[in-house]
Structure 1
Amino acid sequence: MDLFGSTVRMLEGSLDYSAVKNQTISNNIANIDTPGYKSKDVVFRNVLNDELNSASKMKRTHPKHMPFDNGSASRSFQTITKMNSNYNHNGNNVDIDKEMAELAKNQIYYQGLVDRLNGKFHTIQTVIRGGK
Structure 2
Amino acid sequence: MELFSGSFNTLEKALGYSSLKHKTIAQNIANVDVPNYKAKAVSFNEVLAEATRPIEANRSDSRHFRFNIGKDQLQIYTKKNTEYNHNGNNVDVDSEMSDMAANQIYYQALIERLNGKFSTLQNVIKGGR
Where on the TM-score scale, by shorter chain, does this alignment land: which range? 0.7 to 0.9
Tell me whether 1:99 sits opposite 2:96 in the alignment.
Answer: yes
Tell me whether 1:39 sits opposite 2:35 in the alignment.
Answer: no
Q: Alpha-carbon deviation of 1:73?
A: 7.9
Match of 2:4, SS? coil
**Corresponding residue of 2:63:** none
Match of 1:2, SS? coil
Aligned-residue Cα RMSD (Å) equals 2.4
TM-score by length of 1: 0.82
**Corresponding residue of 2:19:** 19
Q: Alpha-carbon deviation of 1:61?
A: 3.6
Structure 1 segments of 4 or more deviating over 3 A?
68-73
Q: Alpha-carbon deviation of 1:31?
A: 0.1
Tell me whether 1:85 sits opposite 2:87 in the alignment.
Answer: no
Q: Deviations over 1:30-60 (max 9, x none)?
A: 0000000000111223517x835xx6xx632
**In the comparison of the two structures, how many residue pairs are matched?**
121
* Percent of pairs with identical residues: 49
Q: How far apart, in 2, do the equivalents of 1:15 and 1:23 lie?
A: 12
Q: How far apart, in 2, do the equivalents of 1:4 and 1:79 lie?
A: 30
TM-score by length of 2: 0.84
Gaps spanning 5+ residues in structure 2: where? 61-65
Counting only pairs closer than 5 Å after superposition, residues 1-132 of structure 1 correspond to structure 2 as 1-45=1-45, 47=49, 51=53, 59-62=57-60, 70=68, 74-75=72-73, 77-132=74-129
